[in-house]
Chain A
Amino acid sequence: MLDRALKAADWLGLRAVWAGGALLVAAALTVSVDVLARKLFAVSLGGADELSGYAFAIGSAWAFPFALLHRANVRVDALYERLPPKLCALLDILAIVALGVFAVFLARYAWDVMATSWSLSSRSNSALKVPLWIPQALWVSGLGLFLATLVLLLARALRALAGGDWAWIRATLGARSVVEEAEEETAYARALERKPR
């Protein structure tokens, strides 16, 4: 059950990243068109910068669960890597708890920001007059998914702890070593190398 829910969160997180990335690429293209139109034809579409700001806020919030599940959150492991595995597992769970505490407050007060915009019908202070609750709601949804993923991870980690499944905790929550980091940075370069043109 828990595993299925986690799998669903993983699936959703990946889709959210693609969607967020697509938003970002779209923002880059919109801003480019805006700059080119302004310089070449002296026409301003206007609002491209504002929209790209929203795309960025939404995209990065939607990427939080993915980054979490891929252990991309930076941890200083100078002490950690010298500790016995069981202690590391406890620290891994503590890390999730700490992220969770921060995420609870973040989601809670981000929700307030959206709720205020909704009840006051606030619009952005620009030519577009965007009803602010729309981008804010999309942004909060990302933070909500992040929080839900954290809760699922914590529940699953506690079960692993109770069952003595240290390997699962290590693999899913362990701090990423700099070796793994480098592995990822070079993965594509390596693939290129294997298929010379």
Chain B
Amino acid sequence: MISTALVTLLVLIALAIPVAAALGVLGLILEAAYSQLPLVRAMGEVAWSASNEFLLVSVPLFVLLGEILLRAGFAERMYGSLIQWVSWLPGGLMHSNIATCGIFAATSGSSVATAATVGTVALPQARRFGYNERVFLGTLAAGGTLGILIPPSINMIIYAVLTNTSVPKLYLAGIVPGVLLMLLFMLIVVLLCVVRPAWGGQRVIATWPERFRGLAHLAPPAGIFFVVVGSIYVGIATPTEAASLGVLASLVLAWWKGRLSRAMLRDAIEGTMKTTAMVMLIILAAYFLNFVMSGIGLTTALTAFIEGLGLPPAWMLLAVILFYVVLGCFMETLSMMITTIPIVAPVMFKLGYDPVWFGIIVILLIETALVTPPVGLNLFVVQNLRRTGTMNDVIIGTLPFVAALFAMLALLAAFPGLATWLPAAFG
């Protein structure tokens, strides 16, 4: 039964059947082949309850928030003021790329949106100030991935829904690794530029009064962060309510910046609804498939099989990491999560791994997937923003930062407290 299911799924996916259809059809096939009961009749109920699940409502709201922020146009000023704070370091503007990504990540739940927003602002500077273009591009593609590690995070919500983990705890758990990863990225830039000073371009040295005056431009992202993430911890709002408040706040911000218009809103809505439909169709199919799988005992069989392998937990973790790194090279990240987490996560929990900690591991793996060729979306986003040169520049420039992601994974495996300490302290 396990091998039939696996082979069928792989064939469907390899034939480029849409992921949602592949999962749904696999569910139908398994039901017809192995079930005594007409499980398929429950499809409507399963779909309806998934469709109006309150926590899932936050997904389109966070997507919408990102789409509005992208168009609200406060990234330029933010970038300008961060330059004054961090660009005296060897590597100059590349540090403000990373720092702007980190701060924008605290308002946006998407890595692609982060890379696109910051990239638009930063790229024109690369040539003007004589930076090594490859490394410069790398800081944007990799820095962008912080979007889903530093809360809010769309991927964390999907993980929370799939594994029944608390969103506030996941958000808290992402903060320390997020800041640490940001510093690791900056450390890599410093190291590269100390070894090859020519890569560093022009540094910017600002005076303290200039720096403090610039802080005003960090107010909009700080405000959004407080509304969207702060409200959850102060106990005012659930994640979905926080996302709603975030949408409201971003609309006000866009209006204040003179960027709110009907055309802008329509664009933002079309983008949001397309992503939402894509994710929801896969979720409906995955819920149905999981329902069938547990109905015919496949879930239990699968878990028993993996446990029967008798791998020690540490090896199992290594296997899971390898699995996601490889899969991440070929698959869009949200569909990868929805397809695999319902199977992988319970096994890891049974082995004694902490659900919140494992969630952060998964997010780091998704970040890696976003910057590994051939289909790392962030690489393409950055390449697309620049328009000239070859894709190879972006890939090579991002490699050192992929090393940082692996270092972060290793750190987190060695010191789980990096993720679990903050939620425990507040929880």
Contact of A76 among B19, B277, B282 (CB under 8 A): B19
Contact of B377 among A78, A181, A193 (CB under 8 A): A181
Q: Does A148 contact B (CB under 8 A)?
A: no
Interface residues of A in 101-147 (CB under 8 A from B): 101-102, 105-106, 108-113, 135-136, 139
Q: How far is the CA of A66 from the CA of B70 in the complex (A)?
A: 22
Interface residues of A in 37-61 (CB under 8 A from B): 39, 49, 52-57, 59-61
Closest B residue, CB atoms, query A68:
B277
Q: Does A1 contact B (CB under 8 A)?
A: no
Determine if B52 and A35 form an interchain contact, defined as CB atoms under 8 angstroms apart: no
Contact of A35 among B40, B244, B377 (CB under 8 A): B244
Determine if B248 and A32 form an interchain contact, defined as CB atoms under 8 angstroms apart: yes
Q: How far is the CA of A128 from the CA of B17 in the complex (A)?
A: 41
Q: Does A165 contact B (CB under 8 A)?
A: no
Q: How far is the CA of A70 from the CA of B18 in the complex (A)?
A: 13
Q: Does B194 contact A (CB under 8 A)?
A: no
Contact of A21 among B53, B244, B269 (CB under 8 A): B269
**For A60, what are the chain B residues with a Cβ–Cβ distance below 8 Å?**
51, 60, 273, 276-277, 280
A16-36 CB contact bits vs B (8 Å, 1 = yes)? 011011101101111110111
**For A28, what are the chain B residues with a Cβ–Cβ distance below 8 Å?**
61, 64, 243-244, 247-248
**For B244, what are the chain A residues with a Cβ–Cβ distance below 8 Å?**
27-32, 35, 52
Closest A residue, CB atoms, query B63:
A24
Determine if A102 and B272 form an interchain contact, defined as CB atoms under 8 angstroms apart: no
Q: Does A91 contact B (CB under 8 A)?
A: yes
Q: How far is the CA of A30 from the CA of B281 in the complex (A)?
A: 25
Q: How far is the CA of A18 from the CA of B273 in the complex (A)?
A: 9
Number of B interface residues at 8 Å Cβ cutoff, please give it: 82
Determine if A102 and B240 form an interchain contact, defined as CB atoms under 8 angstroms apart: no
Q: How far is the CA of A181 from the CA of B54 in the complex (A)?
A: 29
Which of B88-96, B341-349, B380-388, B397-405 binds A? Answer: B380-388
Contact of A105 among B24, B116, B332, B335 (CB under 8 A): B24
Q: Does B210 contact A (CB under 8 A)?
A: no
Q: Does A171 contact B (CB under 8 A)?
A: no
Q: Does B120 contact A (CB under 8 A)?
A: yes
Determine if A35 and B21 form an interchain contact, defined as CB atoms under 8 angstroms apart: no
Closest A residue, CB atoms, query B243:
A28
**For B175, what are the chain A residues with a Cβ–Cβ distance below 8 Å?**
none
Closest B residue, CB atoms, query A70:
B274
Q: Does B126 contact A (CB under 8 A)?
A: no
A73-115 CB contact bits vs B (8 Å, 1 = yes)? 1111111100000000001001100110110011011111100
Q: How far is the CA of A36 from the CA of B236 in the complex (A)?
A: 9
**For A112, what are the chain B residues with a Cβ–Cβ distance below 8 Å?**
41, 44
Chain B residues within CB distance 8 Å of chain A:
12-22, 24-25, 28, 40-45, 47-48, 51-54, 56-57, 60-61, 64, 70-71, 73, 112-113, 116-117, 119-120, 124, 231, 236-237, 240-241, 243-245, 247-248, 265-267, 269-278, 280-282, 284-285, 330-332, 334-335, 374-375, 377, 380-381, 383-385
- 16 additional A-B pairs beyond A63-B277, A105-B28, beta carbons within 8 Å, are A25-B64, A31-B244, A59-B276, A60-B276, A72-B277, A74-B331, A75-B19, A91-B17, A105-B24, A106-B43, A108-B44, A109-B43, A113-B44, A181-B377, A189-B70, A189-B116
CB-based closest 6 A-B pairs: A21-B269, A53-B52, A109-B44, A102-B24, A182-B380, A57-B51
